[in-house]
Amino acid sequence: QLLQGKYYSTKIQFSQDNWEHQFYELIQHIMSSSMVFDPYTISPMMAYIYLKEIECMNVTTIIEGIRYQVDTTSIKELLVVDF
């Protein structure tokens, strides 16, 4: 309710349960485009670090899913950003 009518409410549907996943997809899109369109700034380095953080989170999710014998489709739904 706090973000209703704000900029991000047009990009992310907060009424759904997966708003965090939508948020990470939005940030991933912003970071990827900054790597392409602003190559001579610090943006590519920041984007690279952020994308590596996402990759580490995904690897951890996969390892934990295998450890606790979670179904592969459930693991895929838990990934932060599905590349």
Residues in the chain, overall count: 83
pTM exceeding 0.75: no
pLDDT tier for residue 3 given thresholds of 50, 70 and 90: low
What share of the chain in percent tops pLDDT 90? 31
Residue environment code for 38-70, b if the CB has 16+ CB neighbours within 10 A, otherwise e: eeeeebeeebeebbeebeeebeebbeebeeeee
Please, which residues have CB within 8 angstroms of residue 38's CB and are 6 or more apart in sequence? 44
Query: By the 8 A CB rule, do 47 and 31 touch?
Result: yes
pLDDT tens track for 32-65 = 888 888 888 998 999 899 889 989 999 999 999 9
